[in-house]
Amino acid sequence: MTSPRVVIIGAGIVGTNLADELTARGWDQVTVLDQGPLPLTGGSSSHAPGLVFQTNPSKTMAEFARYTVEKFLDLDVDGAWCFNQVGGLEVATTPERLADLHRRQGWATSWGIPGEVVSPEECVRLHPLLDAEQVLGGLHTPTDGLARAARAVVALARRAQSRGAVFRGSTRVTGIAQAGGRVTGVQTDQGEIPADVVVSCAGFWGPAVGEMVGMAVPLLPLAHQYVRTGQVAALAGGADEAVEARLPILRHQDQDLYYREHADRLGIGSYSHRPMPVSLSGLDEDGEITAAAMPSMLPFTEEDFAPAWEQSRLLLPSLRTAKIDTGFNGVFSFTPDGGPLIGESPDVAGFWIAEAVWVTHSAGVARAVAQLLVDGRSEIDLHGCDVHRFEEVQLAPGYVHETAQQNFVEVYDILHPLDPKLSPRDLRVSPFHARQKELGAVFLEAAGWERPHWYEANAPLVDQLPDAWRPPARDAWSAKFHSPIAAAEAWRTREGVALYDMTPLKRLEITGPGAVGLLDRLTTGKMDKSVGSVTYTLALDDAGGVRSDLTVARLGVDRFQVGANGNLDLDHFQREAGDDVQVRDSTGGTCCIGVWGPLARDLVQPLTSDDFSHEGLKYFRGRSAHISGVPVTALRLSYVGELGWEIYTSAEYGQRLWDVLWAAGQPLGVIAAGRAAFNSLRIEKGYRSWGHDMTTEHNPYEAGLGFAVRPGEYTGSAALAGISDETVTRRLSTLTVDDGTSVVLGHEPVYLDGAPAGYVTSAAFGHTVGRPIAYAWLPAAAVPGTPVEIAYFDRRIAGTVAPDVLVDPEMARIRR
Ligand code: FAD
Ligand code: THG
């Protein structure tokens, strides 16, 4: 059997890694093209200083980096190294940074990277150029180090060539040949090259290549300053030219700086300057390419470096007698959320991109893309990397321009998980927005939506909280972007009734004669049920990994409303849909209020002549109705685990719907409640949040979702054969915190018998149960009652594995 013909655009570190990974999997018809000469093409990889710090809040990114280290350690060019494992040292010069290094150490532990927070003395021992007076401590990660990208490119190209790959330099791709919605090849300034699959690994040129197939590639090229000093006396007699470096790579994040040795000189990278966006059209791509002159290197602007130089001389006093020798403003890619961009064009099958990737993550990304192409799925979860994760509004050039620059500015900032974007805001607001503002909503942003997290109007309720509901004080970090008002909102949801704005929940409308078939094929549910049925179901990948969890409401024979988790669901369903079914994003133009709480029926029934009784509209059923004359669709389900409905209407009725519910609810004490309470209530109820608690890396049984797997044949069903709750070796477990007060936030490592055994996914204070709760991936042997410890900054917090569902496991509150 012959493998597909693949053309890779770009022979940088990503393209060559991909050629290596594909040929390693037996794909032997791989051609790599670059507009520049080989091997020094003039792209970002040609000059990258190659620092590899593996620690990252994202598990996926950390695993990509780990693989890059592992792979590059085994590469050489005629005996010359491609990875120099000098270790990494991130130093703190402020107490906030020192605390954050402990948090980073937690991420490293969660993702399996050894690392330790060390004293100032140890920092100086590891890196003698440091001024002990400046440093409060450091995070030492012994497996970090230097990747020699320009050399690794040669090693990888040679290996790929030995397996049949062809590399062609000085060949510019000018267009993508296509027929019938598929790629057929690439057009170049040297003629057309046929291909079944084209992967653009064009780095910051990605948007230009994407444009050739009309694909938005949301990255912005930005310049970033890098200098080499002249000789540094203190480095004399250290690493020779071949070894290059002996001291750990160094990060001084409080000043947005990093350092590495170049034998007896130091290289300094700075993010402390103004963001400098680069226009592709202004680059000289036709000049001669040398190590000192290439399109990705712009002239050094010394004045931008001045503060960085001053700060460097404070941290590293031996620089006071050294000079800046050379410098340049190097160009590479930034994206709206800092993640890379991986995926296939929605319009032109076979056209893929893998861009906005650091050297650090290059081998991991390339392996994932090779797996996607060869096996149809990546073993590592890619939801934070998928180019289709963005909403339409996030692809606007102005949005990319602004948010990518913010990512440049914030690259080393200490960011709280809830840290809100300050701009752009108010991109998407629900029809209830004016009312929410009147109630003092505190908004955070997600997917462009403004989402109330709590309402200041509920502040007086905090004083009325019964003792059992009074939340304990929080530490400063977990108190950020939080309010005790959330406790009051949770209380009133459990004991009264509350309105939740569910408008931002992604909704798909799936219609046509093929709708049932499509849903039956792509989900674990049986969809040919009566009109009015609502099904909680899973979309799996071929290996049985959870792509998404969905609610599917059959609103008509050929009409379904799917409650989804994001744009990846839309992309997936649209791609899979045949001609007999239409998949449309119906989120915009509609809205939804969750009316939940024991008094929900007392609120809604008097407003309608339609039957909202327990028998008239059963649990997990939906119907159309009028509420005070507003045409609605009501689905009886509740992510917060209370009696009530998601009530949908089209946008123009939204404010009226809010107003009638609000007015009628006054005698019942109705409140508006926000995401903070919502998240706490859903965790107490045992409900998972896709992307946080489970991903394609987990099967339904591991995730505690085996109940949603029905017999039958659908994508992923074969892979689940033989798997059950009894066979799994790891599980998403519910933990409670023993001291009743210490709230964790997610991604913290969990220890069993003193050894790291898993990590927290999502967490919240459980207001109903009066203690903090965390979900964590743990070995299945950790049954309820098992003691655990959660690392939180420099503390270990004692916890206990609890039953999966802490509130109303018998469903008495919902089913009545
Ligand atoms: P590139 O290396 O840019 O390769 C893309 C290739 O595509 C180019 O060779 C280009 O010629 C080719 N191409 C584009 N368009 C076409 C076309 N139409 N036809 C044919 N060929 C085309 N990362 C780290 O991990 N650690 C670091 O310490 C680090 N430091 C950095 C310091 C500086 C100053 C800079 C600028 C970047 C740094 N980076 C670092 C980032 C890193 O260099 C890049 O993210 C990485 O090299 C990108 O690799 P790539 O293969 O995607 O892109
Ligand atoms: N509402 C709607 N769609 C959604 C969500 C939602 N889609 C995405 C996400 N949230 C899906 N998550 C859940 C999780 C749990 C439940 C509903 C959506 C739920 N589970 C019942 C249970 O586990 O007890 C299912 C019982 C059953 O299968 O009968 O209610 O919030 N529209």
Handedness of CA 687, 693, 694, 695 (dihedral sign): positive
CA distance 665 to 658: 10
Task: Please tell me the pTM assigned to this model.
Answer: 0.98
CB of 331 shorter than 6 A to ligand 1: yes
Taking the centre of ligand 2 as the mean of its atom positions, its distance from the CA of residue 638, in whole angstroms, is 7
CB of 505 shorter than 6 A to ligand 2: yes
CA distance 84 to 147: 7
Tens of pLDDT, residues 319-341: 999 999 999 999 999 999 999 99
CB of 619 shorter than 6 A to ligand 2: no
CB of 13 shorter than 6 A to ligand 1: yes
The preferred substitution site among 31, 66, 205 for testing ligand 1, maximizing ligand atoms within 8 Å of CB, is 205
Tens of pLDDT, residues 719-768: 999 999 999 999 999 999 999 999 999 999 999 999 999 999 999 999 99
Closest ligand to C-alpha of residue 157 is 1
Rg (CA), the chain: 28
Tens of pLDDT, residues 606-639: 999 999 999 999 999 999 999 999 999 999 999 9
- Catalytic sites, residue numbers: 224, 258, 549
Protein residue whose Cα sits closest to atom 25 of ligand 2: 536
Of 502, 505, 491, 501, the closest CA to residue 437 belongs to 501
For 279-421, strand residue ranges (E) read 297-299, 324-334, 341-344, 351-355
CB of 332 shorter than 6 A to ligand 1: yes
Closest ligand to C-alpha of residue 550 is 2
Tens of pLDDT, residues 8-53: 999 999 999 999 999 999 999 999 999 999 999 999 999 999 999 9
**Cis ω on the peptide bond leading into residue 472 (within 30° of 0)?**
no
Closest ligand to C-alpha of residue 41 is 1
Which pLDDT belongs to residue 290? 82
State the pLDDT confidence band at 86, using cuts at 50, 70 and 90: very high
CA distance 307 to 171: 41
Start-to-end CA span in the chain (Å): 60
Domains of the chain: 6-50+151-218+337-389 (3.50.50.60), 687-802 (2.40.30.110)
Is the pLDDT confidence value at 1 over 70?
A: no
Is the pLDDT confidence value at 71 over 90?
A: yes
Average pLDDT value over all residues in the chain: 97
* Residue 744 CB-half CA count within 13 A: 32
Determine how many CB atoms are found less than 10 A away from the CB of residue 286: 9
